[in-house]
Structure 1
């Protein structure tokens, strides 16, 4: 009983699992599937059917998904940063995690799915400027349309709405690199200072844009809050040996996150640190890992293929345009594509790590000055995050 009531630090909680907790694995899969479930309404019934959800009891859960994903990414990527001697190597690791699977998905959509489903002649399809713009998705410059696709769907024309988060993920990596150049590795206070600074800049920008007012945000979380959530996750990583963990604190942070994202006025502007703590507090737990998840991370593939699979199913099978039937059909299909993506694209691409960080050169983790914590989460290569753009 005394042990159950004890307050560990986050780092001590990590040590209980040998610094390889399964909580983060379950969170990535769970959040990815939650996005597919959330998109089932708009892909089955259209925008008008989704709008009421943002003022329903589901509002805090729907709005928490992306901040939690970005906070999770920030915490894990910070660990990768400290394990990597050179910034160029760190960026290389991020590139081989993000781009190979993204490139494959973009080309499959444009060169296989598009020609099969387009309502245009193939010559018109391939010569359309929209087709060429879509290929820019491989660079992180996101475009959502392909010529003649999904025009009669409940959510018309859009192929890959979830890719809107990719530029924000890239901004996070660039921002983290900039903080590293000014000394983040040795001066960890830079990370929480950046959280405060970016939050103030975001608040000022909203005030200026809306002439001194802060309007109620009906839909999902703006991209700026996602970047702040990422930085909050980075901050928690650097101070993991000082921040406490306990079940009551975990529950309290979860309740606070839900309230800030639903009923607290202007909660969006302060939710990032709270949501980040809740995310990490769950992530450092260590439930038993299911066999089919061992050695694999299917969350990125579910993110990449979930929305386009839903749109495809709704186009081919109009009778399936019911949200729950959408989920029943799209989740297994997305999981299948995700498994193929992991085993045939992502995992082989990650083998390139040996050339970026030769064996032995990346083993030493650079710790911040105040920390005596052991290196954690050795195989960290988190997924890019799913979602759909909101203003």
Structure 2
């Protein structure tokens, strides 16, 4: 008899860190086309008839995993205060370090403005404080103004406010005491948000990304019944390929578009979970650290710096150098900022008396 997802998830040995690391690398690969001005020839966009890019697919991978792990984090936390604190120390320390370095070291070094004008410019502090508050603003005065894609200092962090919203969403739904109502509400939320996002023709990136996050939550919440079987894996692979590469006039019909996205989200999510719990943990990657977040937040500025100094560089050069330079930064970020911040989890906390968390 095939084992349920819950059995596989009993062990902390999994490949989530490895999957997220490769997702971050693929984001760098996809961005290398944008940053060098070749976005129209990004391979997956071409093959899928402009349905999706490798970077967007990788972001969806991040969101599915986030949904699964954040719901798990919530269930294992003894209080709402502890849950929220753990989320804050995972996101903000590395983000703050990156923003401070960009504003006070990289920005002054690369700006076309005199330093007095740079530090006296309102835009400098608008970037600093807006990014620290996750009210996104991407520009530092005089920095990257002649780059091919424009002067955005760090476009990638657009996903972080959505991530924070996810944390709050999980906490809000978690206040419902009846387990069956929680399950139903998550399912209804998925159906409604998917319907609305398709109806908007995906102009609402927020809603469309929430779909993938909720799928991750659903996989966790139904872990007692979901089984990882060879047939399910084969069917998921076929569904994923068909939904990814199907094109033509039929796709423009609302119901077909809805069904395509439904199949795409669940097949992708199922395959991610399969890879996460492959027997014999791949490369024992989590023994070294979780470098994906550092890779993700540092890659864009590194790639922009490369094109700043070498405007004629090719896409593949930007990708390879981007990975080679970003990886050491992610190692430093993990060992000197993120890992140390996570040690704060060991601080004593009292359960928040007004909030029910137990299932």
Which TM-score bucket, shorter chain as reference? Answer: 0.7 to 0.9
Q: Give the corresponding residue for 1:21.
A: 13
The reply on whether 1:56 has 2:73 as its aligned counterpart is no
In the TM superposition, residue 294 of structure 1 has moved relative to its aligned partner by: 1.4
CA distance 1:127–1:299, shift in 2 (3 Å):
same
The reply on whether 1:263 has 2:256 as its aligned counterpart is no
The reply on whether 1:338 has 2:321 as its aligned counterpart is no
- CA distance in 1 between partners of 2:233 and 2:285 (Å): 28
Q: Give the corresponding residue for 1:150.
A: 144
- CA distance in 2 between partners of 1:289 and 1:274 (Å): 21
The reply on whether 1:241 has 2:232 as its aligned counterpart is no
Structure 2 residues without counterparts, runs of 5 or longer: 252-256
In the TM superposition, residue 300 of structure 1 has moved relative to its aligned partner by: 0.4
Report the structure, 1 or 2, having the larger helix content: 2
In the TM superposition, residue 344 of structure 1 has moved relative to its aligned partner by: 0.3
Q: Give the corresponding residue for 1:181.
A: 175
Measured against aligned partners, the alpha-carbon deviations of 1:264-317 in whole angstroms (never above 9, x if no partner) come to: 632336643333222222212244443675141000000110111000111012
CA distance 1:263–1:174, shift in 2 (3 Å):
same
Alpha carbons 1:75, 1:280 under 8 Å: kept: no
CA distance 1:53–1:27, shift in 2 (3 Å):
closer
Alpha carbons 1:46, 1:154 under 8 Å: kept: no
Q: Give the corresponding residue for 1:194.
A: 186
Alpha carbons 1:171, 1:227 under 8 Å: kept: no
The reply on whether 1:9 has 2:4 as its aligned counterpart is yes
In the TM superposition, residue 32 of structure 1 has moved relative to its aligned partner by: 0.8
- CA distance in 1 between partners of 2:12 and 2:189 (Å): 32
> Larger deviation: 279-288 or 104-113?
279-288
Q: State TM-score, norm by structure 1.
A: 0.79
Aligned residues: 342
Measured against aligned partners, the alpha-carbon deviations of 1:127-163 in whole angstroms (never above 9, x if no partner) come to: 2222122112112111111111111111111111111
Alpha carbons 2:35, 2:148 under 8 Å: kept: yes
The reply on whether 1:252 has 2:243 as its aligned counterpart is no
Structure 1 residues without counterparts, runs of 5 or longer: 1-5, 210-214, 369-391
Q: Give the corresponding residue for 1:98.
A: 91
- CA distance in 1 between partners of 2:57 and 2:180 (Å): 26
Alpha carbons 2:174, 2:182 under 8 Å: kept: no
Alpha carbons 2:26, 2:58 under 8 Å: kept: yes
One of 265, 272, 283 as aligned partner of 1:279: 272
CA distance 1:193–1:273, shift in 2 (3 Å):
farther
**Pairwise mapping of residues 248-327 of structure 1 onto structure 2 (< 5 A)?**
248-263=231-246, 265=251, 266=257, 267-268=260-261, 271-290=264-283, 293-319=286-312, 321-327=313-319
Q: State TM-score, norm by structure 2.
A: 0.86
